[in-house]
Structure 1
Amino acid sequence: MKIGELSRETGVPVRLLRYYEDQGLLASHRTEGGHRQYAPEAPAVVARIRTLLAAGLPTRVIRDLMPCFAGDGIELQACVLDHLTTQLAELDSRIADLTQARTALGDILDASVRALART
C-alpha cells in the first residue's frame, strides 16, 4: 500500500506517517521508483502508534514497545508491563504536580480578586 492510501485508510496525514517512519515506529520499503510501500498490516501498526501516543507515551518509548504486542489488539507482552507501570507512575506524579500548581494559581487568583474588591 502506498503512503497516500495508508493516510486515507487511517486518517493520519502523510507528513505524520513519514515522521513515524523517521522515528522507527513504522516500516516501509521503497519501490524502484523510490515510493514508499507499506505492508498490509500497516493500518493496524498506525492504530497501535496512535493508541500509545494517546496514552501519553513518547515516541522513544513507543519504539521500544512496538515489537512487544501480543496479538492483533493493544495487549502487550508481560515483559514490558513493568515499563508501562513506571510510565503510569510518572504520569500520576505529573498529574499531582499539576494539581498542586493549579491550586496555587487558584489561590493567587482568589487573593488578587479579593484585594481588588477591597479597593
Structure 2
Amino acid sequence: MRIGELSQRTGVSSRSLRYYEEQGLLTSTRSEAGQRHYSDAEVERVSLIRQLFEAGLSSRVIASVLPCVETPGDLAVVEEAFVTMNRERDRIDAEIARLVEARGALDVVIEANDRHRKVLAAEPVARSA
C-alpha cells in the first residue's frame, strides 16, 4: 500500500509516517517512481509506534525496543528491551513526582491568592474624584 493508504488506515499523517521512516521505526520499499510502498504488517507496527509515543517514549528509545518485536525469540534482545522499558517507566515516574510537587507548590500560591482576593473583595471600593 502507498503512504496515503497507510495514513488513512492508521490515522497517522503522511508526514509522521515519513518521520517514522527517517528515524528507522518503519520501513518501506520504493517503486521505480520513488513512491513508498508498505506491507499490511506496517499497519500494526504504526499502531505500536503510536502507543509507545503516547507512553512518552522518544523515537530513539522506540527504535531500541522495536527489535524485541521483530526478533521475540532472541533472549538478549528481549532482555535489552526489558531494561530499556523499565528505565523509561522510572523516568516517567520521576517526572510524575516532579509534576505532583509543582502542582502542590502552585496550590499554595493559589490558596494565598484566594485569601488575598477575599480580603480585597471585603474592603470598600475607593472612589476616584
Normalised by the length of structure 1, the TM-score is 0.88
Structure 1: how far apart are the matches of 2:50 and 2:57?
Answer: 10
2:114 — aligned with what?
113
State the identity as a percent.
42
Partner SS for 2:25: coil
How much has 1:30 moved relative to structure 2? 1.2
Mark the runs of 5 or more structure 1 residues left unpaired by the alignment: none
Structure 2: how far apart are the matches of 1:85 and 1:111?
Answer: 39
Structure 2: how far apart are the matches of 1:115 and 1:11?
Answer: 48
How much has 1:109 moved relative to structure 2? 1.1
1:20 — aligned with what?
20
Structure 2: how far apart are the matches of 1:99 and 1:58?
Answer: 22
Mark the runs of 5 or more structure 2 residues left unpaired by the alignment: 121-129
Partner SS for 1:26: coil
2:8 — aligned with what?
8
Structure 1's consecutive aligned runs of 4 or more residues displaced over 6 angstroms after TM superposition are: none
1:84 — aligned with what?
85
Structure 2: how far apart are the matches of 1:101 and 1:54?
Answer: 22
Structure 2: how far apart are the matches of 1:43 and 1:56?
Answer: 21
Larger Rg: 2
Structure 2: how far apart are the matches of 1:39 and 1:66?
Answer: 17
The amino acid across from 1:65 in the alignment is V
Structure 1: how far apart are the matches of 2:105 and 2:39?
Answer: 51
How much has 1:117 moved relative to structure 2? 1.4
How much has 1:78 moved relative to structure 2? 3.3
Whether the aligned pair in 1 keeps the contact of 2:25 and 2:63 (CA below 8 Å) is: yes
How much has 1:39 moved relative to structure 2? 2.2
Alpha-carbon deviations, 1:57-111, whole Å to 9, x = none?
A: 111100111111139xxxx823321111111111111000000000101110110
Coordinate RMSD, CA, aligned = 1.6
